[in-house]
Amino acid sequence: MKHTCALLDLYRDGELDDAGRERFQSHLTGCIDCRSRLRMLDNLVFVLKTEKIQQVDLAARIARRAFEPAPTWDALIASCFRPKPAVAAAVAGVLLFAFLWLLPGNRTVSAYTEYEKLLNEAESSNLAGRLLVQNDSELLLQLAPLEE
Amino acid sequence: MDPSDSELIERTLKGDEGAFAELVRRYQSVVWGTVHRVLGNSSENEDAVQEVFLRAFGALGKFDRRYPFGPWVARIATNYCIDQLRRKRSRKVQLWSELREHEQERLLRDLSMERSPAAAGPGVEDSEGYARVARALLDGLNPKYRAAFILREVEDKDYGEVAATLGTSEVAARVRVSRARAELQKRFRAYLRGCGAKEQER
């Protein structure tokens, strides 16, 4: 039985001789597996063959694209040096940030560094640190003897 | 009298844009068909068709004009589609899951019935629904099996042509088609079982 099932592909492809075809057809009456596979394939292939394929006429567009001049090496190199607004804006932004960050009197981060330095100093010299904030941009540390 | 493909190719190679446009016009339905059947119905199909012809244009100088142009461009289309499927395994048309459960079951049962919908002939009702079932079944196949199946079963190519298009031996082409058929049946049964299980739950 299984041996005959293996002939399904040959049967479907029309490659069995008359005797083989007759033998397979009589096998089909008793084999639900082969019968259902053939039905499913018939229906599936029919659906795929009759499916409507939506298509657009692309001929003119494709031909235009195909004949567009390919970029030469000169053009590629030149394009690297051509000013690009996004890159220029990013570079300007970075430069501006660096300039503002380096301006004296506006280094909040360094104030904390000073604070940490003084705290370490206080710890090593047995002094307690007291932080005084006078205004938004200024941090002061007063050192006082550590209470026992 | 219309110029032959060979004349159009000759003129294209000499820089005639109109000649290439005419060549595309002649064979774009072949490429649309391959792209649609192998990749499924997707908004990216237009780009795929364009890319296939641009590749053909790039290789036109090497094309041997003693052979017909159609199968050559179909081969480029099939191989391009297989590449795309390999790269984007996630590219699946989620049409099946959009159907309600009872619709899924009805469509599957119809497909398992003798000579239906094939017996109903062109313009069969629910062709959109059947197309969704077909797409769902094909989507699960290995790209190589799917392409081989479509070439043999849907485009009616003989195994020699299938092998030439896929760049493989005839024996390998036969094995791919046979495995595709078996795999489709397995997936089809699994879908039917899924519907049966849901039916029992209800």
B86 and B98 in a single domain? The answer is: no
Provide the CA B177 distance to its chain's centre, in angstroms: 13
Tell me which of B91, B117, B136 is where a domain ends. Answer: B91
B142 and B66 in a single domain? The answer is: no
Instruction: Count interface pairs A-B at CB distance under 8 A.
Output: 117
Number of folded domains that form chain B: 2
B65 and B162 in a single domain? The answer is: no
**Residues contacting residue B81 through CB under 8 Å, at least 6 positions apart:** B34, B35, B38, B39, B48, B143, B147
Average pLDDT over residues A104-120: 61
Output the six-digit token pair for B155: 């485009």
- Higher pLDDT: A46 or B116? It is A46
B104 and B67 in a single domain? The answer is: no
**Distance (Å, whole) CA A2 – CA A27:** 10
| CB proximity A32 to B under 8 Å | no
In this structure, what are the phi and psi dihedrals at residue A85, rounded to the nearest 5 degrees? -55, -40
Residue A129 lies in a domain: yes
Output the six-digit token pair for A34: 């082969």
Average pLDDT over residues A33-58: 87
Q: Are B97 and A22 in contact (CB under 8 A)?
A: no
Interface of B with A in 64-103 (CB under 8 A): none
Residue A70 lies in a domain: no
Instruction: Say if the Cβ atoms of A53 and B17 lie within 8 Å.
Output: no
Number of folded domains that form chain A: 2
Interface of A with B in 93-132 (CB under 8 A): none
Query: Is the pLDDT score of A136 beyond 80?
Result: no
Residue A4's pLDDT band (boundaries 50, 70, 90)? confident
- In Å, what is the CA distance from A90 to each residue of A44, A107, B8, B53? 56, 23, 50, 39
Residue A127 lies in a domain: yes
Instruction: Say if the Cβ atoms of A36 and B49 lie within 8 Å.
Output: no
Report the pLDDT value the prediction gives residue A50, as an integer from 0 to 100. Answer: 84
B198 and B100 in a single domain? The answer is: yes
Residue A8 lies in a domain: yes
Residue A34 lies in a domain: yes
DSSP B44: T
**Residues contacting residue B168 through CB under 8 Å, at least 6 positions apart:** B176
| CB proximity A77 to B under 8 Å | no
Helix (H) or strand (E) holding A129: strand A127-135
The residue of chain A with its CA nearest to that of B118 is A43
DSSP B41: S
Residues of chain B with pLDDT under 70: 89-107, 109-127, 195-202
The parent domain of residue A130 ranges over: 102-145
Q: In chain A, what residues touch B110 (CB-CB under 8 Å)?
A: 43
Report the pLDDT value the prediction gives residue B152, as an integer from 0 to 100. Answer: 95
Instruction: Say if the Cβ atoms of A53 and B36 lie within 8 Å.
Output: yes
Residue A11's pLDDT band (boundaries 50, 70, 90)? very high
pLDDT in tens, B84-140: 888 775 445 445 555 666 666 666 766 666 555 555 554 455 667 777 778 888 888
Q: By C-alpha distance, which of B50, B147, B133, B52 is closest to B93? A: B133
B1 and B76 in a single domain? The answer is: yes
Residue A109 lies in a domain: yes
- Helix boundaries (H) for chain B: 5-13, 17-39, 45-59, 69-87, 101-111, 127-139, 143-149, 159-166, 170-201
Residue A107 lies in a domain: yes
**Residues contacting residue B63 through CB under 8 Å, at least 6 positions apart:** B9, B69, B72
User: Could you tell me the pTM of the whole model?
Assistant: 0.67
B14 and B103 in a single domain? The answer is: no
Scanning the structure block, which residue is given the tokens 């049946």? B185
Residue B176's CB is within 10 A of a number of other CB atoms, namely 25
- In Å, what is the CA distance from B170 to each residue of A57, B70, B175? 35, 20, 9
Helices (H) and strands (E) in chain A, counts: 8, 2
Residue A91 lies in a domain: no
B56 and B118 in a single domain? The answer is: no
Report the pLDDT value the prediction gives residue B93, as an integer from 0 to 100. Answer: 46
The parent domain of residue B10 ranges over: 1-91
B74 and B153 in a single domain? The answer is: no
Tell me which of B61, B91, B121 is where a domain ends. Answer: B91
- Higher pLDDT: B98 or A99? It is A99
Q: In CATH, what number is assigned to the domain containing residue B180?
A: 1.10.10.10
Q: Are A46 and B186 in contact (CB under 8 A)?
A: no
ipTM: 0.78
Report the pLDDT value the prediction gives residue A110, as an integer from 0 to 100. Answer: 54
The full DSSP string for B70-112 is: HHHHHHHHHHHHHHHHHH-TT---TTGGGS-HHHHHHHHHHHT
Tell me which of B91, B106, B125 is where a domain ends. Answer: B91
| CB proximity B61 to A under 8 Å | no
pLDDT in tens, A60-95: 999 999 998 877 777 777 777 776 788 888 989 999
Report the pLDDT value the prediction gives residue A148, as an integer from 0 to 100. Answer: 45
Q: In CATH, what number is assigned to the domain containing residue B74?
A: 1.10.1740.10
